[in-house]
Amino acid sequence: MWRLLLLPGLSFALQVHDASGAPECSRHPPGKHVVKLPEVQRQFLLVVPQEYTPVQASGIPLVLVFHGFGDSPWYSNLLMDFNQHIDRYGWLGILPFGLNETGTNGLSGEGACCSSECQGECCTKAQALNKKDSTACGWRDPERDTKFVEAILKWAVQNSCADPDKVFAAGFSMGGMFVNYLACHASHLIRGFAPVSGNVLPIGCQISRPISYIGMCGSQDTIAHCQDTLEITASSLSKMNRCSGAGPDGAAITFARSATTSCKAWDVCPKHNFVELCMTEGLAHDVSGHLRPDDTSWIRPGSDLDITEYFFQKFSLLVNGSMLFWGKPTAKEIDYKYSRWPYPKQYDHPYIRNGSVGH
Ligand SMILES: *[C@@H]1O[C@H](CO)[C@@H](O)[C@H](O)[C@H]1NC(C)=O
Ligand SMILES: *[C@@H]1O[C@H](CO)[C@@H](O)[C@H](O)[C@H]1NC(C)=O
Ligand SMILES: *[C@@H]1O[C@H](CO)[C@@H](O)[C@H](O)[C@H]1NC(C)=O
């Protein structure tokens, strides 16, 4: 049915009546939607891909992204080029909105986390950060916010074809700190964790099943100082997770990914999990490989690891082939192409071919 998917509007209707009996994936069309959960007085930004990866009986992967203090789901989405990756993998994405200090903007709609001077397009195009004061959205009460995550996952299971066993969480700064909290308090709900620029484990951390973890930090992070804690966080998680590395006596292996990013991996873990940390040399409190949408970043060497790309790639290890284009090209397609000259051109998926979707 891929040919029909060239018409994104139609693809959904077709999915509902899919002759293969695949479940309907979501009532929401491709794109971004603010979804409200009145029962917990909270809301999130749902990111629906242009088309879903073929839906296995168990469902499709879901990635949650938690924004930093004073920013918003819109900002994180642009900061991480998140929806492009959702489109490329055919997964579902959810970016929850944090709360201001009084906790009363939980249902305030798309502009909830932007200042009154930056509403509408200014907010959704992430042109300005909110001041980091009591009006700023954040994750101030992790226990309360974990209940929100539980409500989100319940919604996702009831209202989409998200696979509860393939849920991942990433976050930046305070959102990254909350992801560490979730690793310790919601490991029964979330399989893989990717905190960026916020890497401290809460005291008394315990995990209830094997998880995967990829932590990232810049070596000059003068805001979160995650460079001081990343190693201890990753090594203690690797112990809790009963992981070892591929080095002598099970030591973790450190490898240079590029001239500016090195990673350390404990990748011999139960159930194909991994624990890894990556450090980008010289990077400040920013997302490795990305520019901020409000033009407040320094341009860095192109060698910095693209952390969004990397955590999607790492999480792909845990999804049993639930990715768009898994198994392509088929042997038959290869034979056909090389039997012709000139090679036949391919015109499927123009939104990917013309570069409007990343890598
Ligand atoms: C939080 O947001 C609500 C709704 O906009 C507002 O009434 C309240 O004053 C805000 N609280 C703070 C501390 O900004
Ligand atoms: C992995 O996917 C294959 C085919 O898509 C399916 O038959 C198999 O049951 C899946 N395995 C698990 C562990 O989900
Ligand atoms: C790329 O393709 C998409 C979907 O067909 C279309 O909406 C978009 O305008 C195209 N962009 C360019 C730069 O051609």
272 lines ligand 2 (CB under 6 A): no
pLDDT, mean over the chain: 93
Kindly give the pairing relationship between strand 253-256 and strand 212-218: unpaired
Pick the CATH number of 23-330 from 2.60.40.10, 3.40.50.150, 3.30.56.10, 3.40.50.1820: 3.40.50.1820
The pLDDT of residue 116 is 96
> What string of DSSP letters covers 218-284?
ETT-TTT-GGGTHHHHHHHHHHHTT-B-SSGGGPPEEEESSSSEEEEEE-B-GGG--EEEEEETT--
Q: How far is CA 6 from CA 1, 15, 161, in A?
A: 10, 13, 21
Per-residue confidence band for 13, with pLDDT thresholds at 50, 70 and 90: very low
Q: What average pLDDT does the segment 236-262 reach?
A: 97
SS (H, E, C) 123-188: HHCCCCCCCCCCCCCECCCHHHHHHHHHHHHHHHHHHECEEEEEEEEEEECHHHHHHHHHHHHCCC
Measured from the alpha carbon of residue 31, the closest ligand is 3
Beta sheet of 92-96, edge-to-edge order: 31-37, 42-48, 92-96, 60-66, 162-172, 192-196, 212-218, 275-280, 261-266, 253-256
Ligand 3: residue whose CA is nearest its atom 12: 354
Q: What is the pTM of this model?
A: 0.92
pLDDT > 60? residue 100 = yes
Pocket (CB within 6 angstroms of ligand 3) = 350-351, 354, 356
102 lines ligand 1 (CB under 6 A): yes
pLDDT, tens digit (0-9, with 9 covering 90-100), for 130-189: 999 999 999 999 999 999 999 999 999 999 999 999 999 999 999 999 999 999 999 999
The pLDDT of residue 277 is 98
Domain ranges of the chain: 23-330
Ligand 2: residue whose CA is nearest its atom 1: 320
pLDDT, tens digit (0-9, with 9 covering 90-100), for 37-82: 999 999 999 999 999 998 878 899 999 999 999 999 999 999 999 9
29 lines ligand 2 (CB under 6 A): no
The atom number, within ligand 2, closest to the CA of 54 reads 5
